[in-house]
Amino acid sequence: MGANTNTNINTNTNTGYFPYLRIGKMNEILKQIPLQYISVVNEFSTRGIASAIGVSMTTVNNLIATMKSLDFVVGRRRFLFTRPGADYSVLIRTDEDAAKKILEEQTKKIEYFAVVKQELIQKGELTIFEIGEEMVKRYGKNWTNPLTLKTYGAAIATILDFTGFGHYRSGILRLEEEREGMDSPVPYLSVEKMLKILGALFPGGSEIHKLAAELGTEERRLSQELSCCRAMGFVRYPRRGFYELTEDGREITRSSEGLRKKKFTNHLLGSGYKKLIDRLQQQLHADDKITLVTLGDLLEKEYNRQWSEITKRTYAKKFLNWLRYSGIVVKVEGGYKLRVS
C-alpha cells in the first residue's frame, strides 16, 4: 500500500499531507541517503534516491510524503530539502537528541499534531485507529480501510513519542508512560511546584486549561506534573480535563510549613515512590553517597528506560528535591546520605 502523493501542493507549506512512515523507518531510510542529495539548493528525484540507496520507488514516495507532512521537503516532480529537513537528515546520523529538537519544533507548527496532542491530553491515551479516524473527521480524508487508518495513526504516534510527547507502545499512544516495575509516574516536578499546583487547585478544583494558564505551564507538562500529585494522593481526576484536591491535598495546603513537611513525608513513604527509597537503601554500602548520577541511574533502572544523561539528571534533581524536603536524606561532603531506616 503506497502513500498518497498528490502533486498539487503549495511549495511553501505542504498542506494535505500526513506522515505515512513510522519514525523508525523514516530515520532508517534517511541515514542511507548519500549526503550530496541532502541539499536546500540542489533538487533530487524519486528515481535518483531509489537508485542511490537500492530501494523501490514506492518506498521513496512514502518517504517523500512523510517528509512533506513535516515540512522537511518541498516540490512536485523534483524535490528540495527545507532547512529544517536538511539539518534533521544530517543530524539524525550523529546527534539524535539535536535531531529530536528539530522535529519537535516542526510538530509545534503543524496543525494535525496540535489536534492529536489536545486529544491525548483530554483522554490520556489514543489508539492508532482513533488517531487515523480523527484525521478523517477533521480533514476529510477518504481513508476507509482500517489498515490505512492504522498506518497513518501509527506514523503520527511514533513521531510524537520520538519527540517526547506521549509514549507509544503496542498500538496505543499514552500521555503517561506504561511502566514495568514502577506503578508511579517519573518524578517530574519539584516540591515547590507541587505545592504551587495544590494551592492553585484550592478550594474547588479547576479545568486543566485554566490551571495551565494560571500557572504559566504548558498543558502537556502540567498533565504530567498532575500525575505525580495524584500518585502522592493529593489530587484526584473526577472527570475528563478536571482536577481537584483530595482531603489530604486540602489539609497539606492549609497546614503550617512544619506540618506540611511532615504530611508530605508521610505521603511519600506511603506512596509507590517508597519502592525507590527502598531500592536506594539496598544498593548503598556503608560509605556510599547519593549523587545525581547514582540517583539518575537508579531511576533509569527502576523505570526500565534508556534516557539521555540530561534527562536522567533532570529526574534525579526532582526526586532529590523530594528527599531533601522530607528530610529523608541529609547533605554530607560529596553528596547525600539516607537518614531513614
Residue 304: per-residue pLDDT = 85
pLDDT band (50, 70, 90) for residue 160? very high
Instruction: Please check the confidence at residue 287 and state whether its pLDDT lies above 80.
Output: no
pLDDT band (50, 70, 90) for residue 10? very low
Instruction: Please give the grid coordinates belonging to residue 276.
Output: 525507590
How do 172-174 and 125-127 pair as beta strands? antiparallel
Question: What is the layout of strands, in order, in the sheet containing 125-127?
Answer: 125-127, 172-174, 167-169
| pTM attached to this predicted model | 0.54
Longest Cα separation, the chain? 71
Instruction: For residue 159, give the nearest of 21, 62, 58 by alpha carbon.
Output: 21
Exposed e or buried b per residue across 228-247, where buried means at least 16 C-beta atoms within 10 angstroms of its C-beta: bbbbbbbbebeeebebbbbe
Residue 124: per-residue pLDDT = 87
125: helix, strand or coil: strand
Instruction: Please check the confidence at residue 4 and state whether its pLDDT lies above 50.
Output: no
pLDDT band (50, 70, 90) for residue 282? confident
Specify the residue for cell string 495513526. 153
What number is the average pLDDT over the span 164-186? 79
CA–CA dist 245, 243 (Å, integer) = 7
Q: Considering the chain, what percentage of its residues have pLDDT values greater than 70?
A: 93
pLDDT band (50, 70, 90) for residue 3? very low
How do 44-45 and 78-81 pair as beta strands? antiparallel
- CB distance 151 to 1 below 8 Å: yes
